């Protein structure tokens, strides 16, 4: 295996997809920071898109700190945080104009409603919705309901001409989960460790 | 401002998801029973229906039975699209029914048939005077407590529905249900007379409490009968389909 895929390469691959695309982004745990830089900074920010970032793995507060550490402008990033409350770590201060809390990652309908709310509120012409990650959502939900959720969510986002990027951690994925994502996504970007040539 | 879909003129509620469920909106002049237990969003939905009506230039009237309208206004979600000018201009009017009871001398705990007629004619005159095209009574259940018998409740709802319909007014009667109730109304009469029934509920699933909405019947239009999950947001009521993979019922 050769080194992980660069942030620029991730952004370039996303840039080749047309609006309304749903993209499955398979990454390695080692490549998380490059993925965030590639998706949020080099892809969305450069195109002046609003990013709706759904956090199911780590809290929005942590992602915000990562963005700060990477020196990435987060003024156009809005969070739907479905992990802080269940971890009992959320305070009222964390729910602000840019962060919406969902009580639990099992409340998938509420997750869709919060995304819908942020899309309606967004003034930006182009929007990107990032699901971080499908593996974390799969911990709390069966594949059946997850499949239904992704189908409705992605169809709705397509009709609003928003990009969807679904993050999958390759080390934690299963063939069932990969099939489920392949059913709703029209492009796949691999940002894991590159295969040796 | 009515959208025309099929045979009947529509009263577009302005709640996008609900209009989609109803294939374009409530058939104009229908009387709809919007029913559910506490905390399900009935009043918010009814208010949004009126605000959107007023914004479209349709005079809208909210008749508050249980809550003082000033308190109600202070508590409603700060809708981003709400303009206080709608109240100043008289497009959106709030009336407290207890004040009306007092003025009409209807202070008794049980109203007679004659007093019901007086109440209906007073409400109708008010709606006519204001040129009302959309009306909400919140809640009709509280009015029914003063009527006591099924005959009187039936008589009141039939008469008020007909009078409002004759005025080309589309109305929502908000009904209150005890938590966990399996019926559509407290007295078992209201749902039989209403042209439409929209039920709002709290649905528990694996410890999560979801607010849901389901259209049970709506005369004059096809409609979805599926259950939807809703959220009350500053952009208004938003709806998404209930995911069936997790449904307990």
User: Residues 6 or more apart from A124 whose CB is under 8 A from it?
Assistant: A48, A49, A50, A76
pLDDT for A89 equals 63
Instruction: Write down the domain spans for chain A.
Output: 8-131+183-191
Domain count, chain B: 1
Q: Which of A5-19, A105-119, B74-88, B197-211 has the lowest mean pLDDT?
A: B74-88
Please state which of the ranges A134-138, B44-48, B65-69, B224-228 shows the lowest mean pLDDT.
B65-69
What's the whole-number mean pLDDT along residues B208-215? 95
Query: A residues 37-96 near B, CB within 8 Å?
Result: none
Show which of residues 8-37 on chain A sit within 8 Å of chain B, judged by CB atoms: none
Model pLDDT, residue B225:
96
Q: Is B19 within the bounds of a domain?
A: no
Torsion sign across C-alpha atoms A14, A174, A51, A38: negative
- Give CA–CA dist A64/B201, Å, rounded: 36
How many helices (H) does chain B have, and how many strands (E)? 9, 12
Question: Residue A93 pLDDT more than 50?
Answer: no
Report the chain B residue with the minimal C-alpha distance to residue A144.
Answer: B245
pLDDT in tens, A94-142: 678 899 999 999 999 999 999 999 999 999 999 999 999 999 999 999 9
Q: Which residues of A touch B208 (CB under 8 A)?
A: 103-104, 106-107
For A197, half-sphere exposure in the C-beta direction (CA atoms, 13 angstrom radius) is: 1
Q: Name the band, by pLDDT with cuts 50, 70 and 90, for residue A196.
A: very low
Check residue A3 and give its pLDDT.
Answer: 57
Q: Give the model's pLDDT for residue B247.
A: 54
Task: Tell me what pLDDT residue B73 has.
Answer: 82
**Residue B100, min C-alpha distance to chain A (Å):** 39
Whether A142 sits inside 8 A of B245 (CB atoms) is yes
Q: Which of A112, A113, A117 to mutate to test the interface with B (most CBs of B within 10 A)?
A: A113
How do residues B64-105 score in pLDDT, each as one tens digit?
Answer: 998 888 888 877 667 888 898 999 999 999 999 999 999 999
pLDDT of residue B148: 87
**CATH number of the domain bearing residue B175:** 3.40.50.300
What residue in A sits closest to B234 (Cα-Cα)?
A117
* B5 domain-assigned: no
At residue B249, does pLDDT exceed 80? no
Asked whether B66 and B98 are in contact (CB, 8 A), the reply is no
Domain assignment of residue B238, yes or no: no
**pLDDT at B4 > cutoff 80:** no
Q: What is the pLDDT of residues A99-112, one digit of tens each?
A: 999 999 999 999 99
- Greater confidence (B74 vs B49) lies with B49
Q: What is the mean pLDDT of residues B110-136?
A: 96
Predicted confidence (pLDDT) at residue B248 exceeds the cutoff of 70: no
Q: At what angle do helices B113-130 and B97-104 cross, to 10 degrees?
A: 120
pLDDT of residue B80: 86
Q: What is the mean pLDDT of chain A?
A: 91
Alpha-carbon gap, residue A129 to A126, rounded angstroms: 10
Is there a contact between B235 and A108 if contact means CB atoms under 8 Å apart? no
Cα–Cα dist A179/A155, whole Å: 17
Q: What is the rounded average pLDDT for all residues in chain B? A: 91
CA distance A152 to chain B (A): 8
Q: What is the pLDDT of residues B171-196, one digit of tens each?
A: 999 999 988 887 888 777 777 889 99
Q: What percent of chain B has pLDDT over 70?
A: 94
ipTM: 0.89
Q: Percent of chain A scored above 90 by pLDDT? A: 81
The verdict on a CB contact (< 8 Å) between B243 and A106 is no
CB contact under 8 A, B241 and A120: no
Nearest to B117 by CA among B77, B87, B67, B158: B158
Give residue B81's domain range: 30-202
Q: What is the mean pLDDT of residues A74-84?
A: 94
Examine residue B231 and state whether it is found in any structural domain, yes or no: no
Q: Does A2 touch chain B (CB under 8 A)?
A: no
Q: Which CATH architecture has domain A8-131+183-191?
A: 3-Layer(aba) Sandwich (3.40)
Mutate to test the interface with A, among B205, B232, B236, B243 (most CBs of A within 10 A): B243
Q: Give strand pairing partners of B135.
A: B61, B171
Report CB contact under 8 Å: A121, B235: yes
Higher pLDDT, A195 or A18: A18
The answer to the question of residue B50 being in a domain is: yes
Task: Indicate whether B113 belongs to any domain.
Answer: yes
Average pLDDT over residues A154-176: 94
pLDDT of residue B191: 78
The model's confidence at residue A92, banded by pLDDT at 50, 70 and 90, is low
Residue (of A3, A151, A124) closest to A52 by Cα position: A124
pLDDT at A197 over 50: no
pLDDT of B6 higher than 80: no
- Whether B241 sits inside 8 A of A152 (CB atoms) is yes
- Residues of chain B neighbouring A142 (CB-CB closer than 8 A): 245-246
């Amino acid at each position: 295996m050769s080194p992980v895929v660069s942030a620029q390469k991730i952004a370039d691959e996303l840039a080749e997809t047309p609006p309304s695309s749903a993209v499955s982004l398979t990454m390695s745990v080692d490549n998380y920071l490059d993925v965030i830089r590639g998706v949020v900074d080099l892809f969305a920010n450069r195109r002046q898109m609003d990013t709706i970032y759904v956090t199911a793995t780590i809290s929005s507060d942590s992602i915000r700190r990562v963005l700060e550490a990477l020196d990435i402008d987060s003024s156009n990033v809005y969070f739907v945080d479905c992990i802080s409350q269940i971890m009992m770590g959320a305070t009222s201060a964390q729910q602000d104009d840019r962060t919406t809390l969902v009580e639990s990652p099992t409340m998938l309908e509420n997750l869709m409603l919060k995304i819908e709310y942020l899309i309606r509120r967004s003034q930006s012409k182009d929007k990107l919705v990032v699901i971080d990650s499908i593996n974390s959502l799969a911990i709390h939900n069966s594949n059946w309901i997850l499949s239904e959720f992704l189908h409705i969510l992605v169809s709705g986002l397509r009709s609003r001409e928003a990009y969807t990027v679904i993050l999958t951690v390759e080390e934690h994925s299963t063939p069932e989960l990969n099939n489920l994502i392949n059913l709703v996504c029209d492009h796949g970007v691999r940002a894991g460790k590159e295969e040796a040539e | 401002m009515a959208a025309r879909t099929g045979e009947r003129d529509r009263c577009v509620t302005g709640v996008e998801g609900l209009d989609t469920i109803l294939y374009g909106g409530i058939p104009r002049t229908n009387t709809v029973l919007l029913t559910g237990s506490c905390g399900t969003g009935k009043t918010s939905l009814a208010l949004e229906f009126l605000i959107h009506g007023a914004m479209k230039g349709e005079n809208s009237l909210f008749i508050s039975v249980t809550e003082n309208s000033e308190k109600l206004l202070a508590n409603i979600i700060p809708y981003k699209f709400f303009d206080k000018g709608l109240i100043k201009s008289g497009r959106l009017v709030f009336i407290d029914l207890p004040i009306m009871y007092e003025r009409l001398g209807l202070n008794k705990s049980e109203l007679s048939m004659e007093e019901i007629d007086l109440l209906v004619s007073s409400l109708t005159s008010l709606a006519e005077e204001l040129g009302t095209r959309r009306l909400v009574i919140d809640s009709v259940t509280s009015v029914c407590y003063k009527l006591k018998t099924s005959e009187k409740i039936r008589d009141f709802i039939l008469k008020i529905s007909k009078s409002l319909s004759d005025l080309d007014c589309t109305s929502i009667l908000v009904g209150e249900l005890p938590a966990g109730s399996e019926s559509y109304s407290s007295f078992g009469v209201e749902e039989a007379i209403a042209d439409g029934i929209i039920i709002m509920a709290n649905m528990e699933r694996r410890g999560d409490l979801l607010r849901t909405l389901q259209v049970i019947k709506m005369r004059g239009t096809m409609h979805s009968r599926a259950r939807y999950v809703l959220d009350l947001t500053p952009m208004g009521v938003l709806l998404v389909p209930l995911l069936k993979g997790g449904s307990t019922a």
